[in-house]
Structure 1
Amino acid sequence: MTAVEQRHAGPSTGAAGFDRGLIAPMILGSILNPINSSMLAVALVPIGKAFGAPPSRTIWLVSALYLATAVGQPVLGRLVDRYGPRTLYLIGTALVGIAGALGALAPGLGVLILSRVLLGFGTSAAYPASMFLLRSESERTGAQSPAGVLAVLSMANQVMAVVGPTLGGVLIGAGGWHLIFTINVPLSLACLVLGRMRLPKVAELPAAVRARQDGGVDIAGMVLFAGALVSSMLFLMEPALAHWYLLVIAGVVGLVFVLRELRAEAPFIDLRVLGGNAPLLATYGRQVLAFVTAYAFLYGFTQWLEEGRSLSASVAGLVLLPMSLSAIVITAITGRRRQVRGKLIAGGLLQVAACACLLLLGPHTGIWLLVALGVLIGLPQGLNGLANQNALYDQADPARMASSAGLLRTGMYLGALIAAAADAAVFPHAADSAGVHELAAMLLVVSVLLVIATLADRSLARVGRAAT
């Protein structure tokens, strides 16, 4: 039986297993964003030196990617829900290759920032497409949550987020910071080949999935959503009284967006359904809190290693390598358990401990202590991302799985943007030890809030209990 015939067959004809041919393009596409996010951590200092730019300017390389992704994930996710995963996946991953080539040839910081914007949009299609395919395969096979595949997807994303600095350090050591952009070209080509070979066309999707794709696309809602999000995020990047007008714009556009979506026949974001889904809203909130700490630590700690601790980019990447190993181990151990509450409590407490350790750093801190700190922070990165992803799969409306997954990523990058603003605030001129201590105090508050929010959410105890 061919792959197409199997997809049409349904669970009663032997197509009961997950189509493992989908796993490679799903994973490769979904890691494009975290690997581009994390590789840059060790490249900010070399890029700043190359263009004579301080950390307060180079941090726009971080913010540009996350701003574009925060907008792009739910928008492209909604398009995936409407038109299916294949076309959007191929368009997005092709844009990644174009953006990589542009970044490698960039003559100045402005063009480099533009390439990061394109990377943000290009990497926004694969993860919603993957979550769409997971739900589609679940309906085709008659199975509930494919916990093992969800764990593999989460592990790949979390691991790439922490392997990225090491890979970035190796690439910079081998040929300069340009290589962290050039590597996107072969990655893009691999995604295009795998996507064309293995992703199902719309006609090959289960009938129940195709039936949910009726309706138009709310372009006006998408534009209003983007306007409100961009203006509020621009304020967060450089919070100051002089920028008060950005908050006014965000408030006005956001109000118009809400009023329109409540009246729209086929809204971009169904606020009536979303507003009635308190558990899913809580998951989005936890995602923001978890990744404020994760990304502020990733970029702030890494910059401090290079400037406050005077390590080279290559050595800083190697110091962070054990972070990836601890994330791999904890995800592998807990990945097949669909219950999420214990993971989130443990993840929050581990983040509190790691942030407290940042207060102890100084210019002569031993390498072995820095490695141990990396191991410690890798554990909550593995736990929190996996738990929130599993919670979303259980809580989201199947008809809007891709756009709901996109909003989860928006929460992730909203946290990253807040983290970028915090890093810029504590490191206005250089990443010194005093700045990293200020960062630690802020992250302690955020991590404690994550623990409190998790303990207060009683609905988490039900997630995964009905698994067979």
Structure 2
Amino acid sequence: MLFGSVLNPINSSMLAVALIPIGAAFGVPPSRTAWLVTGLYLATAVGQPVMGRLVDLFGPRPLYLIAASLVGIAGLLGALAPNLGVLIASRVLLGFGTSAAYPAAMSLIRSEADRTGMDTPAVILGSLSIANQVIAVIGPTLGGLLIGLGGWHLIFTINVPLSIICVILGSLWLPRTARVRGTGRSDRLDYPGAALFAATLVSLMLFLMRPQLSTWYLLVLALALGVAFVITQLRVAEPFIDLRVLGGNRPLILTYARQVLAYVGAYSFLYGFTQWLEESRGLNASSAGLLLLPLSLAAVLVTALTGRSALIRGKLLAGCLFLVMAAAAQLLVGPSTPIWLLAVVGVIAGVPQGLNNLANQTALYQQADPARIGSSAGLLRTCVYVGALISAAANAHFFQHGATTAGLHAMAIFLLVVSGLLVLVVVGSIEHGWTA
């Protein structure tokens, strides 16, 4: 479960140091390579709830094995990609392939908790979060080392052995018994709802990646598709995203909102700061990856120290405040900023990465309907990817003419707004007693 769930974060974070080399290889600016981020997260934003629903219906084992196989195929396609378009296609396939492991893991944890009578397995949830955090934060360093060894192609090639390992481990150890049904729900997947959700996201991202008056129709289209999506979800018996359940569960809605805002901040810093280090600060991919190692260590240490506790409030408060500090610190850096000070900025940014996901994951476990824990967990991951999509659009906007210092400072102001909104949501959650 742990190994499969890290496939997405490792592919997300390794790409951070590869965007500039890939852009140089294909002769395109950061506004174009941002589609490598967008393609992955468009696929995962749709794939997570789909896979979560299928896990609820058919059990974790078959979905895990099929999806892990897709990861290997996507890695091979990316390594051999002759142009940026094929490379983006490989990222889309990779997004679908990495969408099953996390809801499968949450489903298995829920099943075991029901079987053993455990209340909240904080240690297991902490281990799952630590595994994801460790891989996510060491990804840039690992990616930089791979690029230094054999070029950017290696960050795609590595998915082939990872996929094989997941298939072998899953075949040997995952239980063959499907998840128990009998909840009164049908076994039907809401394909129209999934299609409308995907079309809404794609049209919105096409506009956000290059917002201008000439593409206003994309925004109108996204709005119309979104309204149609909401209407259909309220009418069908088994919706793609159960908005009626969300409407009656305010604590869970706020958990999803916190997750979106936290990951807008996390990914905006990860991709924006890393590209700036390479293009404006003059570091190569390997050096930039090593410079982000203190960020990685800070996130891992914080997660390890707090992972055993099921308490949420303190983690949320510290996480949002450190995100504000990271955004403010980014405003102060420039081409002549000493390396050690840039590493300190990374440490500040690493702390909220170690706290926010763990707190929201624990909150979801307590707030979600146990019968649909796979779907709820998939939707939590969808919130991560919505945050990543917003950050990709921000990177494309602020780095239209390259990863400049002016663009980085504009990104920092954007992060201050995002982190300020996160503070408001966290305070609201605590005031209403919706966190433990």
Residues 1:136 and 2:108 are matched in the alignment: no
The structural deviation recorded for 1:433 is: 1.1
The structural deviation recorded for 1:421 is: 1.1
Q: Where in structure 2 are there 5+ consecutive unaligned residues?
A: none
Q: Where in structure 1 are there 5+ consecutive unaligned residues?
A: 1-25
Contact 1:73 / 1:124 at 8 angstroms: preserved in 2? yes
Give the one of 50, 64, 67 matched to 1:75.
50
The structural deviation recorded for 1:420 is: 1.0
Secondary structure of the corresponding residue to residue 110 of structure 1: helix
Distance 1:235 1:359, change over 3 A: same
Residues 1:65 and 2:36 are matched in the alignment: no
Secondary structure of the corresponding residue to residue 14 of structure 2: helix
Give the one of 283, 289, 301 matched to 1:311.
283
Partner of 2:6: 31
- Per-residue displacement from partner, 1:60-113 (whole Å, max 9, x unpaired)? 111111111111111111111111111111111100000000000011111101
Partner of 2:239: 267
The structural deviation recorded for 1:213 is: 8.0
Contact 1:218 / 1:268 at 8 angstroms: preserved in 2? yes
Give the one of 179, 182, 192 matched to 1:211.
182
The structural deviation recorded for 1:29 is: 0.9
The number of aligned residues is: 435
Partner of 1:15: none
Counterparts of 1:396-411 in structure 2 under 5 Å? 396-411=368-383
* Inter-partner Cα distance in structure 1 for 2:103 and 2:272: 29
Q: Which amino acid aligns with 2:181?
A: R
- Per-residue displacement from partner, 1:18-76 (whole Å, max 9, x unpaired)? xxxxxxxx111111111101101111111111111111111111111111111111111
- Per-residue displacement from partner, 1:283-308 (whole Å, max 9, x unpaired)? 11111111111001000100111111
Contact 1:202 / 1:210 at 8 angstroms: preserved in 2? no
The structural deviation recorded for 1:247 is: 2.3
* Inter-partner Cα distance in structure 1 for 2:408 and 2:84: 25
Residues 1:168 and 2:140 are matched in the alignment: no
Partner of 2:297: 325
Counterparts of 1:38-187 in structure 2 under 5 Å? 38-187=13-162
The structural deviation recorded for 1:214 is: 4.8
- Identical amino acids, percent of aligned pairs: 66
Residues 1:420 and 2:392 are matched in the alignment: yes
Secondary structure of the corresponding residue to residue 175 of structure 2: coil
Counterparts of 1:161-310 in structure 2 under 5 Å? 161-203=136-178, 205=179, 209-212=180-183, 214-215=185-186, 216-310=188-282
Partner of 1:17: none
The structural deviation recorded for 1:337 is: 1.1
Contact 2:67 / 2:96 at 8 angstroms: preserved in 1? yes
Secondary structure of the corresponding residue to residue 181 of structure 2: helix
Partner of 1:351: 323
The structural deviation recorded for 1:414 is: 0.9
Q: Which amino acid aligns with 2:276?
A: W
* Inter-partner Cα distance in structure 2 for 1:435 and 1:262: 41
Q: Which amino acid aligns with 1:66?
A: Y
Contact 1:339 / 1:461 at 8 angstroms: preserved in 2? no
Q: Which amino acid aligns with 2:124?
A: V
Q: Which amino acid aligns with 1:296?
A: S
Contact 1:356 / 1:444 at 8 angstroms: preserved in 2? yes
The structural deviation recorded for 1:212 is: 3.4
Contact 1:48 / 1:55 at 8 angstroms: preserved in 2? yes
Contact 2:429 / 2:435 at 8 angstroms: preserved in 1? no
The structural deviation recorded for 1:406 is: 1.2
Residues 1:454 and 2:426 are matched in the alignment: yes
The structural deviation recorded for 1:261 is: 2.1
Contact 1:262 / 1:271 at 8 angstroms: preserved in 2? yes
For the pair shown, the structure with the greater C-alpha radius of gyration is 1
* Inter-partner Cα distance in structure 2 for 1:170 and 1:224: 40
The structural deviation recorded for 1:462 is: 5.2
Contact 1:82 / 1:217 at 8 angstroms: preserved in 2? no
